[in-house]
Structure 1
Amino acid sequence: MRASRMITALSIGGALGAGIAWVWRHQGAIGVRRPVNEWTFTHMSRIMPVQIVRSAPRMPLPRDRFPLEHVVRYGAAPGRPIAALFDRNHVTSMVVLHRGRVVQESYPGRFASPEARFQLFSLTKSVTSLLVGIAHEDGDLPDLGATVASFLPELSDSAYAEVTVQELLDMRSGVGGAEVWTDPEALILAYERAVMNGGSVFDVIRNAPRVRPAGTAFNYSTVDTHVLGWVLEAAVGTPIADYLGEKIWRPIGAESDAFYFLSRATPRTALGGGSLNATTMDLARVGLLVAQGGVWEGQRIVPEAWIERCRDAGIPELAVGALDPELYPPAYGYSNQWWTFGGAHRAVTGLGVHGQFLFVDPVAGVVVAVTGAWDSADDDARDAEMREAMLAITEALEAREATGEFAPRGSAPGVGGAG
């Protein structure tokens, strides 16, 4: 009897051990599935090691509420309720700014709140770009034509060795194939497994294959931006979290600490392409900095020329509609880690998988920061709906301003304008 119980206990223990091992191996996939992802995307600090980005809060942004309840449109129907947009697209938070004032703040997600720090995924890339621009202007990274190996000699035997900083910025490294999350052989999945399961991120990057000559074609790559983050850290001699805190977070008076989650295995590394977590309001502040041409309260933080380059690369193959239509929506172009819209306003957006957006129209003075918890990493239909809704919000705020209904009262913190 005792032996039978022991065998049963061992069998149960073995099954539990196998189950735990399976969950460990597949934790990345489990954590991004609905409805679990609404918790995951607001609790990354409980899942992964982190490095804090210190804030220095000053005055909160002023408020001038403008009801957006029926100004959004998507599909063929104008004036749809904004709550329906949230439900259809699993929006967890939204902050809208107009000329530096908060006109909309919503937290429909289960675990969302003004204090929640949301996993921003690839919106991190756009922030990394701003930091590279600052380092370039400060002389720490003076030559954007310098190669990866000149900063990271440990990658001198990799496909990244002769890739330039500018080629990383524009996603033209030629390393790795298409970033398709449904392809089990994709480089992005090997990279994710290394980050989440304690593998070697360095080995994944060092062994990434070259698929075309550098500088010849656009290929969106989170690994490119991870390497860019390493280059930045090598150039400035400090971790990216500390550099963000010093150069942007505290100067713009961010209201809350942010954090980067780190890879599990040592040496731990922040993901310059995807691990920044912040409140939606502080994300909107970053958008406001871009809308104002890199100026905050009269202080130049990001070079004006860098902001202009983010709005238009001036490279035909990166122009709106020129990206591979089988992989990227034709509404977008790309430049310096930002997705571009072209047109007279030259608006831009940062994008993150599962429904993260930071839309910036410097001419209209509109910033829309959105976090989401989509079922899948990419969803062209949801992306189109959210894009259309953000453009409709911009049009409504422009119309209000044109009719004189909007008149800034006093000076809003950071308002400097850019056109």
Structure 2
Amino acid sequence: MGLAAGARWLWRHQGEVATARPFNEWTFTHTSALMPTESVPRAVEPRSLRYAPMALDGWTYEYAGQRRTLADLHKRTFTTGFAVLHRGLLVHESYPGWFASPRARFQLFSLTKSVTSMLVGIALEEGAIASLDRTAVSYLPGLAGTAYDDRTIEHLLHMSSGAAFVEKYTDRDATISRFEHAVMGDGSLLEVLRTVPSAAKPGTVFNYSTMDSQVLGWVLEAATGMSLARYAAERLWKPVGAELDAHYFLTRRHPRTALGGGSFNAGVRDMARLGLLMARGGVLDGQQIVPRAWVERSRGAGLAHLEVGALGPDIPPHYGYANQWWTLGGARRAFTGVGIHGQFLWVDPEADVVVVKTSAWPTTDDFDRDAETVRALTGLVSHLEAGG
């Protein structure tokens, strides 16, 4: 009876156990051992990344009144993988994580949302998605009568659907908790979606919602007739010359589905290739892979409720939002993909700098670790611009 009770407890709390330190160092690089997956095959001929190592041991940044080194950043923010591109060159790469390496595939959590955005931009350019003004329900009739009934793709991209999905990881009664349980096999994501009420007029209020991104992923699959993994492989992963297979993990319950907002797993170097693509206006080696206009809208939406500092008290004030990316504002208009537990894909097109940082934070969110990372990466970009 004790063993049975223990097994039931572990089943109910498996997500908490898997994401807690020190276990998360292993789980974040081994999701394929824990969940069903669909592969995103690598390119037949990977795009080479020229390695031009730059010593960053002497570089420091200031945070909370102290000068700190790159090693300090890695230790304080539980970095597992770290790569820096400058002017297209791989100038730094390190893997402080216990199970990390250039061959590891890292669970990227909500950085997946930015990948989904890139795919939506490609589908729009191809005509598979007719318009951003089309409603989600026009592609997904099963959403009729839900909070997503009259929400457009544009609303979803900007996290402004008005649907009251609650993404508070410390609240076990929040919608995100039921979402995670459904992913693990207890219920279905569609059942969770049908419980989400409408709380605001679409397009007027920012509310960070993995369900908005999930609906985007479903729209993409319905519009293209392909799974997220297949579409990502054909339109993005192979064109950028990825060197490793990536994968999406899938819900355990049938019909299995990828998470458009959180189940992409990939190597650090390949994520750097995606960052380089965005830094170069969607072009690599003369091929326009992501539309240039799509990259530009990912750097800022020009909408008051999405500007830096306007997202609400639960969001760090250094962020704005646009097109499933976090914006950093200012004249540079740098932007970043972000995932819980400390995942970053930092893109500064003006400096031609890309930084990938995978991490294993002990908590889902951490304002202090996030702020320190943003301060450090901003300083690193300035350092590289100044000639290192």
Q: TM-score normalised to the size of structure 2?
A: 0.98
Name 2:307's counterpart in structure 1. 319
C-alpha separation between the residues in 2 aligned to 1:363 and 1:117? 29
**SS state at 1:83 partner:** helix
C-alpha separation between the residues in 2 aligned to 1:37 and 1:375? 8
Name 1:28's counterpart in structure 2. 15
C-alpha separation between the residues in 1 aligned to 2:364 and 2:56? 27
Q: Which amino acid aligns with 2:34?
A: I
Q: Which amino acid aligns with 2:21?
A: R
- The one of 336, 357, 360 equivalent to 2:344 is 357
CA deviation vs aligned residue, 1:377-402 (integer Å, no higher than 9, x gap): 0000000111111111101110007x
Matches of residues 48-197 of structure 1 in structure 2 within 5 Å?
Answer: 48-56=35-43, 57-76=45-64, 80-197=68-185
Identity of aligned residues (%): 54
Q: Do the aligned partners of 1:24 and 1:197 also contact (CA within 8 Å) in 2?
A: no
Deviation at 1:182, TM superposition (A): 0.7
Name 1:286's counterpart in structure 2. 274
C-alpha separation between the residues in 2 aligned to 1:392 and 1:232? 37
C-alpha separation between the residues in 2 aligned to 1:392 and 1:54? 35
Q: Do the aligned partners of 2:165 and 2:176 also contact (CA within 8 Å) in 1?
A: no
CA deviation vs aligned residue, 1:220-241 (integer Å, no higher than 9, x gap): 0011100100001001110010
Q: Do the aligned partners of 1:176 and 1:211 also contact (CA within 8 Å) in 2?
A: yes
Name 2:358's counterpart in structure 1. 371
**SS state at 1:386 partner:** helix
Comparing 51-60 with 159-168, greater Cα deviation is found at 51-60
Name 1:243's counterpart in structure 2. 231
C-alpha separation between the residues in 1 aligned to 2:20 and 2:170? 14
Name 2:253's counterpart in structure 1. 265
CA 1:245/1:177 → structure 2, altered by over 3 Å: closer, same or farther? closer
**SS state at 1:342 partner:** coil
Q: Which amino acid aligns with 1:33?
A: A
Comparing 194-203 with 120-129, greater Cα deviation is found at 194-203
Deviation at 1:72, TM superposition (A): 3.4
Q: Do the aligned partners of 2:165 and 2:211 also contact (CA within 8 Å) in 1?
A: no
Name 1:411's counterpart in structure 2. none
Name 1:310's counterpart in structure 2. 298
Deviating runs (4+, > 6 A) in structure 1?
A: none
Query: How many residues in Structure 1 have an aligned counterpart in Structure 2?
Result: 387
C-alpha separation between the residues in 2 aligned to 1:182 and 1:68? 37
C-alpha separation between the residues in 2 aligned to 1:71 and 1:343? 24
C-alpha separation between the residues in 1 aligned to 2:344 and 2:16? 21
Comparing 175-184 with 239-248, greater Cα deviation is found at 175-184
C-alpha separation between the residues in 2 aligned to 1:106 and 1:302? 28
Which runs of 5 or more residues in structure 2 are unaligned?
none
Q: TM-score normalised to the size of structure 1?
A: 0.91
Deviation at 1:76, TM superposition (A): 4.3
**SS state at 2:384 partner:** helix
Deviation at 1:314, TM superposition (A): 1.1
What is the RMSD of the two structures over their aligned residues, measured on CA atoms?
1.1
Which runs of 5 or more residues in structure 1 are unaligned?
1-13, 402-419
Kindly indicate whether residue 375 of structure 2 is the aligned counterpart of residue 388 of structure 1. Answer: yes
Q: Which amino acid aligns with 1:20?
A: A
- The one of 219, 235, 250 equivalent to 1:231 is 219
Q: Which amino acid aligns with 1:80?
A: R
CA 1:309/1:28 → structure 2, altered by over 3 Å: closer, same or farther? same
Name 1:5's counterpart in structure 2. none
Q: Which amino acid aligns with 2:330?
A: G
C-alpha separation between the residues in 1 aligned to 2:46 and 2:339? 28
Q: Do the aligned partners of 1:358 and 1:370 also contact (CA within 8 Å) in 2?
A: yes
C-alpha separation between the residues in 2 aligned to 1:76 and 1:162? 46
Deviation at 1:119, TM superposition (A): 0.2
CA deviation vs aligned residue, 1:239-280 (integer Å, no higher than 9, x gap): 010000001100110010000000000000000000000001
C-alpha separation between the residues in 2 aligned to 1:230 and 1:207? 18
CA deviation vs aligned residue, 1:76-128 (integer Å, no higher than 9, x gap): 45752211111111111100000111011010001101101000000000000
C-alpha separation between the residues in 2 aligned to 1:60 and 1:141? 32
- The one of 321, 333, 336 equivalent to 2:323 is 336
Q: Do the aligned partners of 1:51 and 1:241 also contact (CA within 8 Å) in 2?
A: yes
CA 1:264/1:28 → structure 2, altered by over 3 Å: closer, same or farther? same
CA deviation vs aligned residue, 1:34-74 (integer Å, no higher than 9, x gap): 00010110000000000000111424200111111232314
Higher-Rg structure is 1
Deviation at 1:32, TM superposition (A): 0.6
Deviation at 1:177, TM superposition (A): 4.0
Q: Which amino acid aligns with 1:26?
A: H
Deviation at 1:208, TM superposition (A): 1.4
Name 1:416's counterpart in structure 2. none
Comparing 265-274 with 78-87, greater Cα deviation is found at 78-87
C-alpha separation between the residues in 1 aligned to 2:65 and 2:90? 26
**SS state at 2:187 partner:** coil
C-alpha separation between the residues in 1 aligned to 2:165 and 2:190? 18
Q: Which amino acid aligns with 2:89?
A: R
